């Protein structure tokens, strides 16, 4: 599903048609397949995807024939954690996690309401602690 997702990706610009090629892709270990990395390399997109332990060990067992490990930016990968934590906060709302809404516009509204509730909760916590 990675390649169809990348094909449907549209990054809006202030002027002109949307970009279809991001500067960098941040992904977890599930996206660390050779096919995904080759696809990104062909399109000239930098990949920051952690390698699972079994893939690292398999490459090491091959010795020099295993090739060099893929580039990995640890600072960029840490930033990915912020987005993942935000999604987990949204998924604490049952309607967002289960996605019962049939239409995208209704689901988008549900996500926005959940975001507002999280923002208000954090706002009242910061005011109470001050």
pLDDT digits (tens, 9 = 90+) for 85-117: 888 999 988 888 888 888 989 999 999 999 999
Gap between the Cα atoms of 11 and 120, Å rounded: 29
Cβ proximity of 2 and 26 under 8 Å: no
Give the up-direction half-sphere exposure of residue 70: CA atoms within 13 A in the CB hemisphere: 20
Q: Tell me the two tokens of residue 33.
A: 């397949």
- Quote the pLDDT of residue 40: 93
Whether 129 has a pLDDT exceeding 80, the answer reads no
Measured distance between the N- and C-terminal CA atoms of the chain, rounded to whole angstroms: 47
Question: What does the mean pLDDT of the chain come to?
Answer: 88
Whether 130 has a pLDDT exceeding 80, the answer reads no
- Quote the pLDDT of residue 96: 86
Q: Tell me the two tokens of residue 93.
A: 């709302």
Cβ proximity of 43 and 21 under 8 Å: yes
- Quote the pLDDT of residue 83: 84
- Quote the pLDDT of residue 97: 87
Residue % of the chain over a pLDDT of 90: 33
User: Which sequence spans correspond to the domains of the chain?
Assistant: 1-73
Cβ proximity of 47 and 70 under 8 Å: yes
State the DSSP string of 34-90: HHHHHHHHHHT-EEEEPPPHHHHHHHHHTGGGG-PPPP--HHHHHHHHHHHHHHHHH
Whether 14 has a pLDDT exceeding 70, the answer reads yes
- Quote the pLDDT of residue 113: 92
């Amino acid at each position: 599903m990675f390649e169809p997702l990348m094909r449907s990706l549209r990054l809006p610009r202030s002027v002109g048609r949307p970009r279809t090629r991001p500067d960098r892709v941040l992904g977890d270990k599930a996206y660390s397949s050779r096919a995904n990395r080759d696809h990104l390399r062909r399109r000239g997109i930098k990949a920051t995807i952690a390698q699972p332990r079994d893939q690292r060990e398999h490459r090491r067992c091959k010795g020099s024939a295993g090739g060099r490990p893929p580039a990995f930016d640890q600072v960029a990968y840490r930033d990915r954690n912020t987005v993942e934590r935000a999604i987990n906060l949204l998924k604490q709302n049952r309607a967002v996690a289960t996605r019962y809404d049939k239409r995208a516009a209704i689901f988008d509204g549900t996500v926005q309401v959940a975001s507002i509730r999280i923002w208000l909760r954090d706002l009242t916590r910061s005011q109470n602690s001050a």
